[in-house]
Structure 1
Amino acid sequence: MNRRNWIRNAPALGFGLGAAYSTAASKPLRLKITRVECFGLRIPFNERVRDNMHENYRRENVDRPDYRPWIVRVHTDEGLTGLGESKEDPRSRLPAMVGHTAYEFLNNGALTPGVMIAIYDLVAQAGGVPICKLFSPKPRPTVQATWWSHCLRPALLASEAKRGVELGYEVHKIKTRRYEDPVEQMAAVTAAVPHDYQIYLDANGSFGSAGKALAVMDSLRRFEQVKGIEQPIAHEDIVGYRQIRRSLPFRLAVHYEAVDARSFLLESLCDAFVVEDWKWGPALSEKSELCRLTGQNLWVENGLYSGISQVFQAHQCSALPNVEFVISLTHIGEDDIVVEPFTVGKGGFYTIPTKPGLGVTLDQKALDKYRVV
């Protein structure tokens, strides 16, 4: 099947859980759901960056004084409990789950993300395997974790980059906006990090035109750590992206959900797609397979506000060979509300938990501290 026909027909091909699902589902456990809990949290930004984050969101007319994840806990008659995290309130869908088995909801794209994560957690626990093995019999043992910063003032941004280095990160994604000079920012950051540190800028379309985007990126060529740019101009400006692709001396990434993905795939208009929509399971697997066919990588950025989604993101991405970076914002929050630390090792890689299920434990004290619903 050629590239064009494969892309046209891919949604109908289906992406399941493979042989590992059969192993899990064949276990004698019924996994009948007996109770579902849901908790709404408000997690303040970390004090290190709080004031600058508030200032930036005010500038952008965004109402985001803190992180507000919803934590889901699904209980079963077998004594197993699944954990999930959602960015939207899932409470209206939860009562109907009681009395059904977890297997009935597996691979159900209609579920809210928080519930879907919890279901995968339960099924993997029942099968005695880590979640990653529900998606591939041979997942990678590690994934490349990425440090993240908003468009902070140069000195603070340099301090955050230095902190990332101290924690073992080697890749850093940084927002760039018109209210800060990117040259001043990169001068400060690159002076604080090793020469092999990788920096990717995310403009979210703020550069305006292809010409302006190319001019800005040309001014950053002096900084060897700057490796690429994400979404430099408006997502619908396909002509502008063609111009940028021809002339840009850096790697180029765009948001999969924001652009005409078919054109970017067929014309190879980018090196990587950023997946930020909270799509798990088969939806993410489908995107990965499409991009693998056309030679593009994925940067997955949907495990954002707690260690629950952060670790689930790592699990599934370890099973998808063309996921290059996993990106999370949990270090921007005051607490990731799980007991186990998200620790990166040599090369900035995170080692996937090998315990059955998700492999992390909800911090009950943190849950009680930040719970508002």
Structure 2
Amino acid sequence: MKITSIEQFKTAVPHIPEIQKSRPTDYTERPITMLKVHTDEGICGLGEGGRGEALEDIDQKWVGVDPMGINLTTTSGTMAMALYDIVGKALGVPAYKLMGTKHWDKVPVGYWSPPLEPHEFAAAAENGARQGFKTHKLKARPWNIVETVELMTKAAGPDYGIIVDPNFTFDDLATSLRIAEKLEKYNIQAFEDPFRYLPGFQQYRDFRRHSRIP
């Protein structure tokens, strides 16, 4: 089997209004690149790139290569996804079997919001719950996260899960623990990156040890 050609597609899907407000040109300036990799045996593989990812000279590197002769563990990114797709199809197995054990039958999908005002987060949560979402990840800020979560819970109900992603803006362990204590009565499913990792992960272990929020 040989790779014969590679098609690239730029995908620019407009954001919903609340995200568009925060990122008005994001989807046009940083489109997502999709690959369709063709082989001489008629098997095609699909790969999805990161937002704004540039895939230059990819034909020169990969056309003529045998996907079945590659150590897939040494590949990465968009092309790796397409190669796993091709090899899995050629062997008649799902791509995950080339990696190991299957861990999920379904992948949960959550609602997502950029930084907003508390009342805007609440409206977004109400909209997310109405559409059937069970979890909502939000870009949180320390000065209004408690009010935000309170209003979101009132709008979407106590079972509506919230993932708090401060992008390191909770500054340090002590601040993160104080905020976490105020939020523990709500359905907080995770804190993502409350403060920076450096100089090590010990403080993240300390956070987990002293908070019920994962």
TM, length-normalised to structure 2: 0.82
Residues of 1 paired with 2:126 and 2:40: CA distance? 48
Q: CA deviation at 1:190?
A: 0.5
Q: Secondary structure at the match of 1:163?
A: helix
Write the distance in 2 (CA, Å) between the matches of 1:245 and 1:128. 42
Indicate the SS of the match to 1:173.
Answer: strand
Which of 18, 23, 26 aligns to 1:65? It is: 26
Answer whether contact 2:115 2:138 (CA < 8 A) is retained: yes
Cα separation, 2, equivalents of 1:173 and 1:126: 37
Q: Which residue of 1 aligns with 2:4?
A: 34
CA RMSD of aligned residues (A): 2.6
CA contact (8 A) 2:111 2:136 kept: yes
Q: 1:152 aligns with which of 116, 122, 125?
A: 116
Partner of 2:160: 197
Amino acid of the residue matched to residue 121 of structure 2? L
Shift of 1:181: 0.7
Contiguous gaps of at least 5 residues in structure 1: 1-29, 55-63, 252-373
- Scaled by the length of structure 1, what TM-score is found? 0.50
Task: Number of aligned residue pairs: give it.
Answer: 209
- The correspondence of residues 330-349 of structure 1 with structure 2, limited to 5 A, is none
Pairing partner for 1:123 from 81, 87, 100: 87
* Distance of 2:123 and 2:36 partners within structure 1: 37
Equivalent residue number for residue 334 of structure 1: none
Question: Runs of 5+ in structure 2 lacking a partner?
Answer: none
Structure 1 position 100 matched with structure 2 position 61:
no
Question: Which structure ranks higher in relative contact order (CA pairs < 8 Å, sequence separation ≥ 6)?
Answer: 1
CA contact (8 A) 1:74 1:118 kept: yes
CA deviation after TM superposition for structure 1 residue 152, in Å: 2.1
Superposed CA deviations along residues 216-269 of structure 1, whole A, max 9, x for unmatched, are 2222234x2123312211111546445434422322xxxxxxxxxxxxxxxxxx
1:192 CA displacement: 1.9
Question: Residues 38 and 91 of structure 1 are in contact (CA less than 8 Å); yes or no, is this contact kept in structure 2?
Answer: no
Please state how far the C-alpha of 1:41 moved relative to its aligned partner: 4.0
What percent identity do the matched residue pairs reach?
29
Query: Take 1:144 and 1:42, find their aligned partners in 2: how far apart are those partners?
Result: 23
Say if 1:52 and 1:153, in contact at 8 Å, map to a contact too: no
SS at match of 2:109: strand
Deviations 1:48-84 (A, max 9, x none): 4311345xxxxxxxxx722421111111112222111
1:85 aligned counterpart, secondary structure: strand
**Separation (CA, whole Å) in 1 of partners of 2:34 and 2:189:** 36
Structure 1's 52 and 154: CA in aligned 2 closer, same or farther, altered over 3 A?
farther
SS at match of 2:110: strand
Are the structure 2 counterparts of residues 106 and 39 from structure 1 closer, same or farther at C-alpha, using a change threshold of 3 Å?
Answer: farther
Deviation at 1:102, TM superposition (A): 1.6
Please tell me whether residue 176 in structure 1 is matched to residue 137 in structure 2.
no
Deviation per CA, 1:70-104, whole angstroms, max 9, x where unpaired? Answer: 11111111222211112221222332211222213
User: Residue 84 and residue 228 in structure 1: after superposition, are their counterparts in 2 closer, same or farther (change >3 A)?
Assistant: closer
* Alignment CA distance shift 1:48-1:100 (3 Å): same
Summarize the Cα distance change of 1:104–1:186 in structure 2 as closer, same or farther, 3 Å threshold. same
- Contact conserved, 1:106 with 1:120, CA < 8 A, in 2? no
Which of 192, 195, 198 is the aligned partner of 1:230? 192
